Amino acid sequence: MKSEIIEQLGQTELMLPAILGRGLAANDRVKVRLSVLQAAARHARDPSGPQFNLADECHAVGIDPGPMEALVNRSSLPSGGRVAAPGLGSLERAIWDDVAVMTDAVAAGDAAAGEASQSRLSMIKAAAGNGTSDEIDLGRIAKFTALGESGDSLHRLIMDLHKTLNRLSAGNAEEILAGAHVHGLLAQDRPLVEAFMRGVESTRKLKFGHPGLDTTAARTSAGLTIQNDIGETDAHVVVVIVEPSAVTVTYTDIHLPRAKFFAGLFPKFDIQWSGFERQNSAGLGEDGAFYLITGRFPCADDALRASLLEALGASLVFLIDWNKARKVLRALVPRSDAIRILEWGARHRFGHRGFLELGGSELIASVVRRAAPTRIGFGERLDQALGRDAAVDFLKSVLRISAEALLAGGSVRLARDRIEAELARHLQRVEAGLFKVLVRQAGLAREIATGIAGFIAAHRAERPFDRAGLAAQARHIEEKADRIAVEARSEVARFGADRAIERLVNRLEDAIDELEQAAFVATLVPNRIPETLAETLGMLCAAAVSAAEAAATAASAAADIPENHRVDSEDALAAVGRLVEAEHSADAAERSVTTIVLQGEFELKCALSVLELSRALERATDRLAGFGHLLREYVIADLAA
């Protein structure tokens, strides 16, 4: 814009968008200059501390980082309380100049506000006194950067000027482009702004009426500059500068975890992040600080830049009330899982604002009271009640259901009902997980039964067999099964699961005890027993193996029934039927052994050991059959429910 002729024509208001743009650029510069001043003071006090690391921030606002680096890294304390560094006087003058540019810009848009701001600047500058040398008192630096507990301060003035400039810039935009307030754009800027706004609009609905996401864009000396206010927090903004060869993202936040969360939202783009620098004396947040990070994405391809801008715009809604959501979730699950849930919500475009709109912690509390009043205690964390993975999965579903319900305009009552149903399903899945323990137990029972069957087969074939090894292995398996049973009972009590599961665990534990006893007795059987007895014992072993296999199959199928798979209920009942048939076969084989022994003439040791072995195997199949009957009752009751 040819400013001289415009002023001559008395149309200075036409220059307002450009003036406001310069004021906002001065605001960006003065913040970086104040950060440099703070860094110089820190280095002077502690030369062994971190070196200059504000190069990206300087680049982003058009400041040559070379002199700034020299200023910081060569700062010292030659005399008490005074910092000396090359260029400190020039830096101070530049700070005053930037603030003057801001006050002039405000005056151009709002004469009264401009006059008040210029008056404040004059008084602050007069109180500070002249400082043009390369030595500055530490107290002077503190006054420059501090918000000030009482009275006015330079930093407070800068904050107020920035707010006013944002208001004036939004109210005096040359046009609205795709929802953004824009001015001074070049032709090549427009599709990039539209890409950014495409992203913003794609997720804007997920803020559910919360203020924020207003966007301004302008062509400045640094390039195309896009700024979004995100939410209501003063220090929470993102500034994107698009240059021909790179996109630079500057992000400020009072919450460091949220800043890190934001930086992790763009895995498809190799953004080079720097910073996470704590900016002290900002007068923002609970501890008077905020964090500033800068990301640089080298790229000269228009399509790729547009893709990044769209992703940036789409991500911003997931930052609104993020810390509030994180606090709610970390009361329910571990802190790392809370962030993992929020990342999932952002990645799948559900977000967390819907969850908060429906009540957040109060929503979860009411759902628990209605769906599981006896299963989950007051104040109990969900990962303790459901297990860690199940709790995370449930809370992901809560985020999804909340967003879907509000987007569809459904009732809050319906959303709560859906969440209650989801919690009930997860509680059922806890029980399904306990059924996996039953499958493990049945597998251990089969392992012992198979070992005994192998012994009988080796005996009939007159092959050598390690009887002591069989007994030792059975004893080891029985001890392992006992530990599993103890853990299962503890889980049943902890989760408040159906007590029928504990009874099923007990039946299988009893069966394993009987099989371990059978393995022990097998070590006492004489080296040679009549074939008729060996053949019948083989049939009995086969029945025991078959019963254990059927028990495992039935438990595995029953575990999936809460998912409403009717075919699994049919599989479970069919397996129970096979288990009962195996028990009948075992009964018949045990009676055959008894008949053969009592009707025949056998050595006492042979007769007693064979009878005891057959009875132990038959008792094991009885226990397995008892497990089957209990399981049938459980399945039928579940189907009826």
Whose CA is closest to 184, among 139, 216, 146? 216
Query: In which band, very low, low, confident or very high, does the pLDDT at 6 lie, cut at 50, 70 and 90?
Result: very low
Question: Using CA atoms, how far apart are residues 278 and 260, in angstroms rounded to an integer?
Answer: 13
Q: Which of 78-92, 425-439, 581-595 has the highest mean pLDDT?
A: 581-595
- 């107290």: which residue's tokens? 139
Alpha-helix residue ranges (DSSP H) falling in 461-561: 467-495, 499-522, 531-559
Query: In which band, very low, low, confident or very high, does the pLDDT at 476 lie, cut at 50, 70 and 90?
Result: very high
Contact assessment for residue 226 and residue 217, using Cβ atoms and an 8 Å cutoff: yes
Query: In which band, very low, low, confident or very high, does the pLDDT at 214 lie, cut at 50, 70 and 90?
Result: confident
Which residues have CB under 8 Å from 528's CB, separation 6+?
A: none
Question: Using CA atoms, how far apart are residues 166 and 510, in angstroms rounded to an integer?
Answer: 76
- Average pLDDT (18-22) is 85
Contact assessment for residue 22 and residue 105, using Cβ atoms and an 8 Å cutoff: yes
Query: In which band, very low, low, confident or very high, does the pLDDT at 7 lie, cut at 50, 70 and 90?
Result: very low
List of long-range contacts for 66-69, beta carbons under 8 Å, 24+ apart? 68/36
Question: Using CA atoms, how far apart are residues 262 and 331, in angstroms rounded to an integer?
Answer: 22
- Average pLDDT (277-287) is 55
Whose CA is closest to 191, among 306, 310, 316? 306
pLDDT at 267: 92
pLDDT at 199: 97
Task: Decide which of 533 and 276 is more confident.
Answer: 533
CA torsion sign, 121 to 123 to 126 to 131? Answer: negative
pLDDT at 30: 94
Contact assessment for residue 544 and residue 515, using Cβ atoms and an 8 Å cutoff: yes
β-strand pairing of 180-183 with 215-220: parallel
596: pLDDT strictly greater than 60: yes
Q: What is each CA distance from 310 to 194, 292, 314, in whole angstroms?
A: 8, 22, 6
CA torsion sign, 502 to 624 to 553 to 444? Answer: positive
Average pLDDT, the chain: 85
pLDDT at 502: 85
13: pLDDT strictly greater than 50: no
Query: In which band, very low, low, confident or very high, does the pLDDT at 227 lie, cut at 50, 70 and 90?
Result: confident
pLDDT at 61: 92
- Least confident interval from 78-87, 108-117, 147-156, 509-518: 147-156
- Least confident interval from 294-298, 460-464, 566-570: 566-570
β-strand pairing of 175-177 with 135-137: unpaired
Question: Using CA atoms, how far apart are residues 611 and 526, in angstroms rounded to an integer?
Answer: 12
Q: Element (H or E) spanning 76, and its range?
A: strand 76-79
Question: Using CA atoms, how far apart are residues 575 and 578, in angstroms rounded to an integer?
Answer: 5
pLDDT at 612: 93
95: pLDDT strictly greater than 50: yes
Question: Using CA atoms, how far apart are residues 555 and 571, in angstroms rounded to an integer?
Answer: 10
Q: Domains, the chain, ranges and CATH? A: 3-169 (no CATH), 173-320 (no CATH), 323-410 (no CATH), 428-640 (1.20.58.220)
Query: In which band, very low, low, confident or very high, does the pLDDT at 590 lie, cut at 50, 70 and 90?
Result: very high
Task: Decide which of 381 and 312 is more confident.
Answer: 312
97: pLDDT strictly greater than 90: yes
151: pLDDT strictly greater than 80: no
Query: In which band, very low, low, confident or very high, does the pLDDT at 14 lie, cut at 50, 70 and 90?
Result: very low
Query: In which band, very low, low, confident or very high, does the pLDDT at 9 lie, cut at 50, 70 and 90?
Result: very low
556: its two tokens: 């595995």
pLDDT at 149: 61
626: pLDDT strictly greater than 80: yes
Which pTM does this prediction carry? 0.58
Burial of 446 (C-beta count, 10 Å sphere; 0-12/13-18/19+): buried
β-strand pairing of 289-298 with 82-84: unpaired
Whose CA is closest to 505, among 490, 521, 519, 522? 490
Greatest pairwise CA separation for the chain in angstroms: 132
- Average pLDDT (248-272) is 90
564: pLDDT strictly greater than 60: no
Question: Using CA atoms, how far apart are residues 165 and 170, in angstroms rounded to an integer?
Answer: 8
Task: Decide which of 253 and 113 is more confident.
Answer: 113
- Least confident interval from 198-207, 240-249, 402-411, 563-572: 563-572
pLDDT at 19: 86
Query: In which band, very low, low, confident or very high, does the pLDDT at 308 lie, cut at 50, 70 and 90?
Result: very high
Query: In which band, very low, low, confident or very high, does the pLDDT at 554 lie, cut at 50, 70 and 90?
Result: confident
Question: Using CA atoms, how far apart are residues 214 and 295, in angstroms rounded to an integer?
Answer: 21
481: pLDDT strictly greater than 70: yes
39: pLDDT strictly greater than 80: yes
pLDDT at 386: 77
pLDDT at 1: 38
pLDDT at 433: 66
Task: Decide which of 16 and 55 is more confident.
Answer: 55
Query: In which band, very low, low, confident or very high, does the pLDDT at 638 lie, cut at 50, 70 and 90?
Result: low
Q: Which of 74-88, 177-191, 243-257, 327-341 has the highest mean pLDDT?
A: 327-341
Question: Using CA atoms, how far apart are residues 491 and 15, in angstroms rounded to an integer?
Answer: 72
Q: Give the tens place of pLDDT for each residue, 342-391.
A: 999 999 999 999 999 999 999 888 888 887 666 666 667 888 777 788 88
